Amino acid sequence: MKKTIFSTSRYRQLKSKLFFYVVCTFCGITMIPLFLILWELVKKGYKQFNLSLFTEVSPSSMDAMLAKISNEPIPGGILNGLTGTLLILLLAMIIAIPVGILTGIYLAENQKKTFTKLIRSLSDLLQGIPSIVIGIIVYVWVVKPMHSYSALAGSIALAIMMLPMIIRSTEESIKMLPTSLKEAGLALGGSYTSVVLQILVPSAFGGLFTGSLLAVSRVMGETAPLLVTVLGASTVNWHITEPTSAISLLIWEFYNDPNLAPLVWSSSLLLLLVVLGINIFAKSIAKKWKIQ
């Protein structure tokens, strides 16, 4: 009897170890493309990774061609893309974060209502819409009535793409809170609105902040909706009602010009590092504010 129990236990341990090594192997295989992409970007992008990349606007095709003939680094940088990306993302955050958080709170507090189920279904549907379709819709809604491409139109397109992730993260964060928090606030005489805004939202701040950061990193590299809403600009522009540029747009423009192709790698490397930094920061915030 003891021998049978021992053999069964050993068989389970061997099966557990085998499954563990299989999972590790497949995880390693999954990470290979990521490391290859990183290596390719670092190998080809570091040559143009200098101070001028952050302080000068994108060069013309002629300047790049002359630099290549002289075997010199391509002059200029992506300052117009950096400022444009910052402006568009700030506007998108101002639009999407309040709407997404308030919607998520409503869904979490009214889970059984028919309207809640409809909003949740529409949010899931919105997440599956291709970005270029959202860009075309915003083109019809904003660009044509304004008779101009603009940073505002691009920010509206990105805000629409950010909403589903912010809504879902807010809803799940509020659901994770113990019901005793709300009950205690109401028992002390607080109104429903004050309990939600002063107790529930601060308690779920980690999830709300992390979801917003991940939504920003999700849309930061989008190009398709910006092509039909922002258009692009060769100079630094801070006016929200005028065309501007973005890092993703510059990557597309550099790719279509053989003389500017080397800047594709440095711009892509910078964009990847920024997105990676945002994701790492979001993970650290989520860990620090984790609900016990």
Structural domain span for residue 226:
81-288
Please check whether residue 58 lies inside any domain of the structure. Answer: no
Q: Which helix (H) or strand (E) holds 11?
A: helix 2-45
**Each residue of 228-266: pLDDT tens digit?**
999 888 889 999 999 999 999 999 989 888 888 888 899
With cut-offs at 50, 70 and 90, classify the pLDDT of residue 5: low
Residue 141: which CATH number?
1.10.3720.10
Greatest C-alpha distance within the chain = 85
Please check whether residue 188 lies inside any domain of the structure. Answer: yes
Contacts of 142 (CB under 8 A, 6+ apart): 150, 152, 153, 156, 229
Is the pLDDT assigned to residue 1 strictly greater than 70? no
Q: Which residue has the higher pLDDT, 3 or 96?
A: 96
Q: Are 230 and 88 in contact (CB under 8 A)?
A: yes
Q: Which helix (H) or strand (E) holds 3?
A: helix 2-45
**Each residue of 167-199: pLDDT tens digit?**
999 999 999 888 888 888 888 888 888 888 888
What pTM does this model have? Answer: 0.88
Q: How many domains does the chain have?
A: 1
Please check whether residue 208 lies inside any domain of the structure. Answer: yes
Cβ of 22: how many Cβ atoms within 10 Å? 10
Please check whether residue 88 lies inside any domain of the structure. Answer: yes
Q: Which of 112, 101, 76, 78 is nearest to 252 (CA)?
A: 78
